[in-house]
């Protein structure tokens, strides 16, 4: 899913969401070889930081978020703070 300057991919089998900022190194790593994509799991960059740091209660500009705890609250807050949707 495209949202503003982000591509968000949700993996239901592993229960995690990955948010890539278009043009970032993580984005390029995940999407540069999209033409030769053999499986959807190839879009995961598992070394990405967490979108929300529970210890310091900070949001990252991009990263992953497992579907654990209050993940729906955290992702809504991340979207509201980080994603800028352009008016058409």
Angstrom distance (rounded) from CA 17 to CA 8: 7
**Is residue 88 a part of any domain in this protein?**
no
pLDDT tens-digit series, residues 18-50? 999 999 999 998 988 766 777 788 888 989 999
**Is residue 87 a part of any domain in this protein?**
no
Structurally, how many domains does the chain consist of?
1
- Mention every residue, 6+ apart, whose C-beta is less than 8 A from residue 3: 79, 83, 85
Q: What pLDDT does 62 receive?
A: 94
**Which residues form the domain of 25?**
2-82
**Is 45:58 a contact under the CB 8 Å cutoff?**
no
pLDDT tens-digit series, residues 45-69? 989 999 987 776 788 999 999 988 8
Q: What pLDDT does 35 receive?
A: 67
């Amino acid at each position: 899913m495209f949202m503003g300057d982000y591509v968000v991919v949700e993996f239901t089998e592993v229960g995690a969401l990955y948010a890539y900022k278009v043009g970032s190194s993580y984005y390029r790593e995940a999407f540069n070889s999209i033409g030769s994509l053999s499986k959807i799991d190839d879009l995961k960059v598992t070394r990405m930081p967490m979108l929300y740091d529970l210890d310091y209660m900070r949001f990252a500009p991009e990263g992953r978020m497992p579907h654990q705890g209050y993940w729906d609250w955290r992702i809504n807050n991340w979207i509201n703070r980080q994603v800028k949707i352009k008016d058409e």
